[in-house]
Amino acid sequence: MNVQKIRQDFPILSQTIRGKPFVFLDSAASAQKPRAVIDAMRNAMETQYANVHRGLHWMSERTTDAYEAARDAVAALMNAPDRDEIVFVRNSTEAINLVAHSFGRHMLKAGQAVLISGMEHHSNIVPWQMLRDAHGTELRVAPITDSGELDMAAFEALFADGRVGLVAITHMSNVLGTVTPAERIVSIAHAHGAKVLFDGSQAIVHRPVDVQALGCDFYAWTGHKLYGPTGIGVLWARRELLEEMPPFLGGGEMISSVTYERSTWARVPHKFEAGTPAILEGIGLKAAIDYVREIGYDAISEHEASLTEHALARLSRIEGVRILGQAQDRGGVVAFALDKAHAHDVATLLDRQGIAVRAGHHCAEPLMHRFGLDSTARASFGIYTTHEEIDALAEALIRVREFFT
């Protein structure tokens, strides 16, 4: 994979920040956008734009085709058996909330449990707490080991009382980088009659996701981490579940007919897509998917594995650096703490050297506390990240530590 050539596809990367090359190591928060995405969205606005699904005119029909092509692209990307199983939402958070409201309130019974893990993003904790408080389900948390992996024995033991109705779990941790053993999770959950939702926000950026091979029931992810625009995300769910689930939001687009007495719902997936959708963002997402598939997940995974290995080697050699998580199977995020400085101070000093990292609790406060920390800094990698940028991070960190010593 030619990283220098890829970098040329991302206009933002050629900038300097405070006179220094822009070293962007915050892709796990949101990735930069390639020219193909920018052009697709601009082109749509300049030449081909109207509202979708209802205009009886040429422009609307063309826009509908372009927007619906995004659904095909997503279905192909995830190997979904049916394009109608792709529900467009704003982001992973909305996808999970949709499942919590619609599946959770209508297909889980009070007293049943939702099982999450000890390494979830707040977006896969809070909706289940809200469901618990509104509906009387239980929220169970499967512990993780000191190395940052799911404790599989403890996980399986949590099914013993037969009350787990849904497992909602990350496919890759946004803090530890841990990739969870998805097939095993599904096989254990299904053996106990529970459905499985994966939060794939991070995973789908780094490796191919095949929902049929995984065997899961729901898969949520967001476009902006996969080099696409913000404001569009995906919920994939098995068709029979979507058919049975009631709508989440009501309004335009999601109805079949409306009278003051009653309304009937549009067919799946439109039943779940109330209001004018993110049309331009859908078109941008398709461009992002095409771009990623052209590079290919094999090349992406290989590049990111090499970057991660390099980062772990470089950072672990720096005195006073503690890296969170040593999972065997991991993706391109490395969270770390420095003994002499708080993560915010680390991030500010790195920023002064042109290096962008995230600092804080990474929307995973319970996970931070599991490791006895309030916050960490996190470097995360994308297809455009170079080994030299990781060297720059390591050298800068040494200077930061000296500064605070």
Closest CA to 117 of 96, 139, 91: 139
Smallest gap from Cβ 256 to other proteins, in A, equals 42
Smallest gap from Cβ 286 to other proteins, in A, equals 33
Residues 6+ apart with CB under 8 A from 13: 7, 22, 24, 32, 384
Residue with tokens 């826009």: 63
Query: In the numeric block, which tokens belong to residue 9?
Result: 């596809």
Query: Is residue 344 close enough to count as binding other proteins by CB under 8 A?
Result: yes
In this structure, how many other beta carbons lie within 10 angstroms of the beta carbon of residue 393? 24
Largest CA distance in the chain: 71
Name the one range near other proteins by CB under 8 A: 78-86, 97-105, 197-205, 340-348. Answer: 340-348
Nearer to other proteins, 284 or 354 (CB): 354
Nearer to other proteins, 109 or 344 (CB): 344
Q: Single out the catalytic residue among 114, 142, 347, 363.
A: 363
Residues 6+ apart with CB under 8 A from 137: 104, 108, 109, 110, 111, 112, 113, 114, 128, 131, 165
Nearer to other proteins, 105 or 122 (CB): 122
Interaction with other proteins in 350-369: which residues (CB under 8 A)? Answer: 352-353, 359-361, 365, 368
Find the binder of other proteins among 181, 345, 366, 386 (CB under 8 A). 345
Smallest gap from Cβ 404 to other proteins, in A, equals 7
Distance CA 3, CA 86 (A): 32
Name the one range near other proteins by CB under 8 A: 47-55, 80-88, 152-160, 344-352. Answer: 344-352
| # binding residues, other proteins (CB under 8 A) | 20
* Torsion-angle region of 306 (φ positive above 0: left; ψ -120 to 50: alpha; else: beta): alpha
Q: Is 216 a catalytic residue?
A: no
Closest CA to 141 of 152, 131, 155, 153: 155
Name the one range near other proteins by CB under 8 A: 77-85, 324-332, 337-345, 383-391. Answer: 337-345
Smallest gap from Cβ 361 to other proteins, in A, equals 5
Bridge partner residues of 142 (DSSP)? 117
Find the binder of other proteins among 298, 348, 388, 391 (CB under 8 A). 348
Interaction with other proteins in 12-51: which residues (CB under 8 A)? Answer: 18
Beta pairing class for 333-338 and 321-323:
antiparallel
Query: In the numeric block, which tokens belong to residue 389?
Result: 């940028």
Query: Is residue 62 close enough to count as binding other proteins by CB under 8 A?
Result: no
Query: Is residue 399 close enough to count as binding other proteins by CB under 8 A?
Result: yes
Distance CA 173, CA 179 (A): 7
Nearer to other proteins, 179 or 368 (CB): 368
Residues 6+ apart with CB under 8 A from 358: 26, 28, 29, 347, 377, 378, 380
Query: Is residue 343 close enough to count as binding other proteins by CB under 8 A?
Result: yes
* Torsion-angle region of 275 (φ positive above 0: left; ψ -120 to 50: alpha; else: beta): left
Query: Is residue 337 close enough to count as binding other proteins by CB under 8 A?
Result: no
Find the binder of other proteins among 22, 265, 297, 404 (CB under 8 A). 404
Positions marked active-site: 363
Q: Which residues bind other proteins (CB under 8 A)?
A: 18, 341-345, 348-349, 352-353, 359-361, 365, 368, 374-375, 399, 403-404
